[in-house]
Amino acid sequence: MNFIIIINYVFDLFFYPFYTIDPIYGLLAISFITTVIMLPIFKYTSNQESIRRTKAKIIGHFLEIRLFKDDMRIVFSAQGNILKYNLLYLKSMLRPLCFVVWPVMIIMIQTGMRYEYRPLRTGEVSIVKVKIENTKELTGKGSKGFLVSPEGLKIETPPLRVNGGGEEIYWRIKAEKEGVFDLRFQFSGIELKKRVVVSNALSKLAPKVSKEGFMGSFFYAGESLLDKDGCVEFFEVTYPQMKIMLFGWGFHWILIFFTLSLLFSFLLLRPFRVSI
């Protein structure tokens, strides 16, 4: 768990300068860092010599096809060899990928927490959802579960309980002013909190708090997790999906992240002396 807390601190520190500027700069920086981390890992966990040799062979067999295009026997044999060396190439990628995938996953989760959604803006509404294991006293008529909002957030609807004693309760809230607020769900003397961010700036957001556990901790955004033995499975606030604006078009951050990482990889291949 300490490891996850450290990771969170590192990324908080890294993204701190980018919260108030255009999101594209943060993505540029994180894509560059990802490439810088990924290339050496790839270099030292892969058989560079074998990769170079396999790629050369594939190119060689392509040339063979061009040179001997009139000889069908050679063409078929070259095609077979291209397929074979492609498979070998993929095989040689497996080992480095096993090492690369972990840091990349951590980077993507941390980046996603900042770029997947944007905070609510003043005047915007959001749906709050609490999922409960079958506890009729919370979801049935005369429910004892209440949502309490602080000043700055307004609860606009009464609770909507699905299946009349079912599993989910919904409310609509409205952001009335900027700030970081705690919504509280109270029942039977127990109180659960969910952070709601209302801001025009970039923020680290976790729409959902779930039960304690490895995955819950992974998506930890500084909020208390739910008791793993409790009856509430998750407490969620919907945030608007973030679009990264580029040349007047809105893109999902993953598309920009991969494009930039790929671009940086090609640029840094030679300085890092890596073959991929």
- Asked if 131 interacts with other proteins (CB under 8 A), we say no
Q: Which of 13, 164, 247, 270 binds other proteins (CB under 8 A)?
A: 164
> In the complex, what is the shortest distance from the CB of residue 153 to other proteins, in angstroms, rounded to a whole number?
15
- Asked if 159 interacts with other proteins (CB under 8 A), we say yes
Nearer to other proteins, 21 or 160 (CB): 160
Q: Which of 83, 125, 148, 263 binds other proteins (CB under 8 A)?
A: 125
Distance, in Å, from the CA atom of 263 to the CA atom of 243, rounded to the nearest integer, reads 21
Q: Which of 118, 161, 194, 204 binds other proteins (CB under 8 A)?
A: 161
- Asked if 255 interacts with other proteins (CB under 8 A), we say no
Q: What is the dihedral of CA 254, 260, 261, 266, to 10 degrees?
A: 150
Distance, in Å, from the CA atom of 179 to the CA atom of 89, rounded to the nearest integer, reads 52
> In the complex, what is the shortest distance from the CB of residue 150 to other proteins, in angstroms, rounded to a whole number?
20
Q: Which of 166, 176, 212, 254 binds other proteins (CB under 8 A)?
A: 166
> In the complex, what is the shortest distance from the CB of residue 240 to other proteins, in angstroms, rounded to a whole number?
11
- Asked if 157 interacts with other proteins (CB under 8 A), we say yes
Q: Which of 22, 156, 191, 227 binds other proteins (CB under 8 A)?
A: 156
- Asked if 122 interacts with other proteins (CB under 8 A), we say no
Q: Which of 17, 103, 150, 158 binds other proteins (CB under 8 A)?
A: 158
Nearer to other proteins, 55 or 243 (CB): 243
The 3-class secondary structure across the chain, one letter per residue, is CHHHHHHHHHHHHHHHHHCCCCHHHHHHHHHHHHHHHHHHHHHHHCCHHHHHHHHHHHHHHHHHHHHCCCCHHHHHHHHHHHHHHHHHHHHHHHHHHHHHHHHHHHHHHHHHHHHCECCECCCCEEEEEEEECCCHHHHCCCCCCEEECCCCEEECCCCEECCCCCCEEEEEEEECCCEEEEEEEEECCEEEEEEEEECCCCCCCCCEEEECCHHHHHCCCCCCCECCCCCEEEEEECCCECCEEECCEEECHHHHHHHHHHHHHHHHHHHHCCCC
Q: For residues 15 and 115, is the Cβ–Cβ distance under 8 A? A: no
Strand partners, 179: 198
> In the complex, what is the shortest distance from the CB of residue 260 to other proteins, in angstroms, rounded to a whole number?
25
> In the complex, what is the shortest distance from the CB of residue 121 to other proteins, in angstroms, rounded to a whole number?
12
> In the complex, what is the shortest distance from the CB of residue 84 to other proteins, in angstroms, rounded to a whole number?
33
Nearer to other proteins, 12 or 124 (CB): 124
Nearer to other proteins, 163 or 224 (CB): 163
Distance, in Å, from the CA atom of 177 to the CA atom of 151, rounded to the nearest integer, reads 9
Nearer to other proteins, 71 or 156 (CB): 156
- Asked if 115 interacts with other proteins (CB under 8 A), we say no
- List residues binding other proteins (CB under 8 A): 125, 127, 140-141, 156-166, 170-172, 238, 248
